[in-house]
Structure 1
Amino acid sequence: MEEKTFRNYEAVDISAAVKEHYRKMRKNQTVDYVQRMHKKYLNFDKPMPLWEAMVHLNDLIDVSDPDIDLPNVQHLIQSAEAIREDGRPDWMQLTGLLHDLGKVMFLWGSDEDGTSQAEQWGMVGDVFVVGCALPDSCVYPEFNALNKDMQDPRYNTPLGVYEEGCGIDNLDLAWGHDEYFYQVLNNHKENSLPEEAMAMIRYHSFYPWHSGGSYKQFLNKKDEQYLEWIKDFNKYDLYTKSPKTYDLEEIREYYQPIAEKYLGKGPIFW
């Protein structure tokens, strides 16, 4: 597919489920909700081997994605294989393979939280900053007004609860698989992935910033480097989607040694 055909949310054949997903996400992802999800999910008390988590993504189709309706593990392999084909570093190949693994939260998620197979608005989709005004660069900006924080004077200004130039590391983003997996890896003592990989994992769904040009009031010098890394990764995350499928066990022989190099052989605590 041509690049312009990806992420076309106005296409006539766009799934009604995609639009409804973003309506729920915009309505429900408030400061209070994000704080509750941090308390609920960032306990790191569920040990699971990395490859077992990969297998579980055979059971999840990302309802927010207008481009592909394959099990999510296929998107991960497609991304990794494209990075590998271009001869990029092994850590980046691994990042492509793992970047959506935070979606395994559906295993212990709930419909109420939007973290289940049926209700994914707390797990997948483009993320935005909570605690400040929502920008028009969000997908379906007409849903911004549904967020009750936008009627709260603490949260509905361009700066909200933050300081100018504070940097995106100091912003609270809508809860989802990016932040979850970033925090899981950050807690994993054997993790030696470079800073670039961690930024790619944490911010790859932050489209209003890296593609929409919003949130300039918060950016600092470090974020300029982040943006270069994310845009580099983004072409593999987005433009590699295709109907082609892979056998997970067949590609494991190549990627498992790389995973053990950067993450060790033991389980990861989710």
Structure 2
Amino acid sequence: MQTNAVKSILAVFGTCLSVQAGAAQTAVRQICPEFDRGAQELSVRVSTGCVTGMARFKEHDLALNVDQDRAHIALSGDIRFHPITSPAVTADCGGAQSFTLSASDIQPRRYTLSYAGEPLGTVDLLEGAEPPACVGTKGSRRRLEPQPVNPDSFSDWAFDPEGSWRDWRGASITALLEPLLGSVPESLEGRPEIEIRMEKRFWQRDLRKRGGGPRRPFMAVSITRDGLGDDSISGDRYFVTVVKSEDGWRVERLWRQQMCARGQNAGQWTGAICL
């Protein structure tokens, strides 16, 4: 029987996987955040991507809002062009537009990012984090091919923290990961936040072969918990690769990290034990 905590997490999971109701068609296609830790300044470049050279820019009402209490970066507004009246339309991208918005006194932490109310993912501004990547909006073209995962990026993760997952099977991915989600206690102290993300990926190189091999797609599930009330751990996160087999979905590989709340590694993600 599922605990109340598991039910609530699965509800969050379902919400994350559901199709989000977005705004009307927008000219904004790409959002690229950059963070200057020394100056504590966040710069967000907003661009249209490729636009025909016949398009003439009219105006924009883009706005950037950073809620540091909720650790959320919200962008709103749009980029507008004059209607194209010419019957001949060029195929070049000369009409592309890009604007940079900025905010000062930004604390380094991991933020959620949204545009026009649509969740786009997270932006990690913590020290030692990889530079934030550009993200596409709902109006951008979706990539048909899954993106690669570099196995070297897990060098500071704990691999196989528990061997019991090898026997897990499920008719669905949520059912498969219920033992992992069930480890969440009924009552969480502090201000816990749980984020679950699932996407189709493949390894940059086949982990089983030294010379590489064919791309074998899998479902990558990222689970992150923040705001835990533990004395030594403030959060933890998992990266789970899931594949379909004859007897249902199964876990292929599992990594874990935790964020230490004190000591030398305080405020940092690490695969080591927090003391």
- Give yes or no for TM over 0.5: no
**TM-score, normalisation: structure 1:** 0.21
Q: With the length of structure 2 as denominator, give the TM-score of the two structures.
A: 0.21
Larger RCO: 1 or 2 (CA < 8 Å, sep 6+): 1
